[in-house]
Amino acid sequence: MRLLQAFLRRYAHDEARALLPWVRGPRLLDLGAGEGWVAEALRTRAAVWACAVDVGPFRLATEPYVVYDGARLPFGDGAFDTTLLSLALHHAETPEAVLDEAVRVTRGRLLVVESVYRDRVERFWLDLLDGHLNRHRHGGRMNVPLAFRRPAEWRALFESRGLRVVATDWLGSRLERLVHHPLLYVLDT
């Protein structure tokens, strides 16, 4: 478990470096934050107040952390300048509803990082690796629906919610992308 958490913390710091140029404003929500490592890494690199939110008590980082019911976020409309959904939407039973709540509480920018696949082989590896990894996180309490999509399918979902895709970028090293394909979508509301 320690090795897994060390890997997740290192991954969070790498991800924070890639996300930082896209963060807008001082109030950041990390929705589907898991342990809260990415919010913590972003706060250490920028003048942001970060709040981590998830559907379970998974917190290990020191950032403010809220457990919510998975349906309605306990924040007012436009409460955050930037909302991050990092590797979270594919775990939601209804990603559309989670995305709609993110849009509601965000006044500017959404940053969505999602595991994507382009063919059956990549989908096989995503199902195997993500499912296996997440069974070992949080004492087996993490929901693992694994609703992966192709890049164009995520884009279509975002556009169906009135979001404008500002940029996309592949995250991770070339070596990491041999088995995992995290794609960043920068979205304006």
Write the DSSP string, 112-163.
Answer: EEEEB-SSHHHHHHHHHHHHHHHHTSGGGTS------B-HHHHHHHHHHTT-
**Domain architecture of the chain: domains with CATH:** 2-188 (3.40.50.150)
Work out the mean pLDDT of the chain and round it to a whole number: 89
Least confident piece of the model among 5-14, 88-97, 126-135: 126-135
**Stronger pLDDT, 55 or 131, i.e. the higher one:** 55
pLDDT of residue 129: 79
DSSP H helix total and E strand total for the chain: 5, 7
Q: What is the pTM of this model?
A: 0.91
Non-local (6+) Cβ contacts of 147 within 8 A are 89, 90, 91, 92, 93, 95
What would the mean pLDDT of 151-169 be, rounded to a whole number? 97
- Reply yes or no on whether the pLDDT at 133 is more than 90: no
Angle at 99 between CA 118 and CA 14, to 5 degrees: 60
